[in-house]
């Protein structure tokens, strides 16, 4: 049945719904305390700052995933708007896995950057010359930045990390190989085309209306193209969630969660590729 996009779409919806339950369990472990999975006790051992960073990014990814699942039932042009949402999910889960597997200083800088970014949003200069807008007091921005947020004041130091997404995925994969592979699949499946659509390029528009369809000259070809695009989007989202869950479960040595996630991944892999995991 994997050669039927309608079957793949439904399989991915059901698998992602199960992943959402596991993500909710992880969020509970991070914020509330111990829980059980198949009557086996689980308890998070992450440092508080790590837990805060992981929970924030994973919760955001889970929330947007719910929106994507709802939109996946729409067969029309709304699929174009699903690409930026899917990219948000992928990057959020990459970051959640990154926080879970890297030293605590990474999470602490990200949390500190939250406060810096909130201040910067109301104190910045946009544009240059005659086309410039100053938000806040332009004279006070630099002195305040240097005194209150010195770690972000230097050149090229304004972000919470200087690592690009592939580099973050590599570091996650060096800690948990299965997580790195799943996250790389998610990134490869959605990042480039979503960038084109987000930035309004001609190719981004052409992909949706013609390049990404089976036969752009017919209504049926367009509908089939939209169906396949929904499958591709859900596949990327599912791979991203799998990567995060694998990274977290392995880092916390939670055997029941590792096994449960892996069984779900087998289902996702078959729905996405048509191959069974055992044949790889």
pLDDT reading at 230 higher than 80: yes
Q: Where are the domains of the chain?
A: 5-99+165-279
pLDDT reading at 34 higher than 80: yes
pLDDT on residue 211: 57
Residue 36 has a CB neighbour count (10 Å cut-off) of 10
Asked if 11 and 231 touch (Cβ cutoff 8 Å), the reply is: no
Confidence label for 45 from pLDDT (cuts 50, 70 and 90): very high
List, in sequence order, the alpha helices (H) in 212-254. Answer: 219-251
Residue 222 half-sphere exposure toward CB, CA atoms < 13 A:
13
C-alpha 59/C-alpha 99 separation (Å) is 14
Q: What digits encode the pLDDT tens for the residues 179-210?
A: 999 999 999 999 999 999 999 999 888 887 76
| Dihedral of alpha carbons 96, 98, 32, 250, sign | positive
| Dihedral of alpha carbons 237, 241, 242, 247, sign | positive
C-alpha 96/C-alpha 243 separation (Å) is 10
Cα 87 to its chain centre, rounded Å, is: 6
C-alpha 29/C-alpha 21 separation (Å) is 12
Q: What digits encode the pLDDT tens for the residues 146-164?
A: 888 888 887 878 899 999 9
Confidence label for 9 from pLDDT (cuts 50, 70 and 90): very high
pLDDT reading at 12 higher than 50: yes
pLDDT reading at 166 higher than 60: yes
Return the DSSP state at 210.
I
Name residue, tokens 């592979």: 181
pTM here is 0.92
Q: Which of these, 235, 208, 203, lies nearest to 90 by C-alpha position?
A: 235
Mean pLDDT value across residues 212-218: 68
State the SS3 of 66-116: HHHHHHCCCCCCCHHHHHHHHHHHHHHHHHHHHHHHCCHHHHHHHHHHHHH
pLDDT reading at 213 higher than 80: no
pLDDT reading at 280 higher than 50: no
| Dihedral of alpha carbons 216, 221, 227, 232, sign | negative
Q: What digits encode the pLDDT tens for the residues 95-114?
A: 999 999 999 999 999 999 99
Mean pLDDT value across residues 207-227: 75
Asked if 26 and 245 touch (Cβ cutoff 8 Å), the reply is: yes
Mean pLDDT value across residues 262-275: 92
pLDDT reading at 8 higher than 60: yes
pLDDT on residue 154: 79
Q: Which of these, 231, 239, 259, lies nearest to 179 by C-alpha position?
A: 239
pLDDT on residue 221: 79
Name residue, tokens 């994997």: 2
**Greater confidence, 137 or 67?**
67
Mean pLDDT value across residues 110-132: 86
| Farthest CA pair distance, the chain | 66
């Amino acid at each position: 049945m994997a050669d039927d996009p309608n079957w793949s779409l439904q399989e991915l919806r059901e698998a992602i719904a199960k992943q959402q339950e596991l993500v909710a369990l992880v969020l509970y472990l991070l914020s509330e305390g111990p829980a059980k999975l198949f009557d086996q006790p689980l308890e998070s051992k992450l440092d508080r700052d790590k837990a805060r960073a992981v929970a924030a990014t994973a919760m955001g990814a889970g929330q947007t995933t719910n929106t994507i699942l709802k939109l996946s039932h729409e067969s029309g042009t709304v699929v174009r708007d699903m690409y930026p949402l899917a990219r948000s999910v992928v990057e959020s889960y990459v970051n959640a896995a990154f926080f879970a597997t890297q030293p605590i200083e990474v999470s602490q800088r990200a949390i500190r950057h939250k406060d810096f970014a909130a201040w910067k949003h109301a104190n910045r200069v946009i544009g240059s010359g005659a086309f410039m807008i100053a938000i806040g007091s332009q004279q006070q921005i630099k002195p305040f930045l240097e005194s209150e947020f010195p770690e972000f004041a230097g050149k090229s130091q304004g972000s919470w990390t200087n690592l690009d997404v592939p580099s973050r995925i590599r570091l996650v994969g060096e800690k948990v190989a299965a997580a790195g592979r799943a996250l790389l699949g998610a990134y490869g499946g959605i990042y480039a085309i979503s960038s084109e659509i987000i930035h309004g390029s001609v190719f981004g528009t052409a992909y949706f209306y013609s390049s990404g369809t089976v036969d752009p000259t017919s209504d049926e070809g367009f509908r089939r193209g939209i169906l396949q695009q929904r499958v591709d989007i859900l596949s990327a989202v599912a791979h991203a969630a799998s990567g995060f869950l694998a990274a977290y479960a392995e880092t916390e040595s939670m055997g029941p969660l590792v096994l449960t996630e892996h069984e779900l991944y087998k289902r996702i892999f078959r729905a996405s590729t048509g191959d069974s995991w055992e044949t790889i």
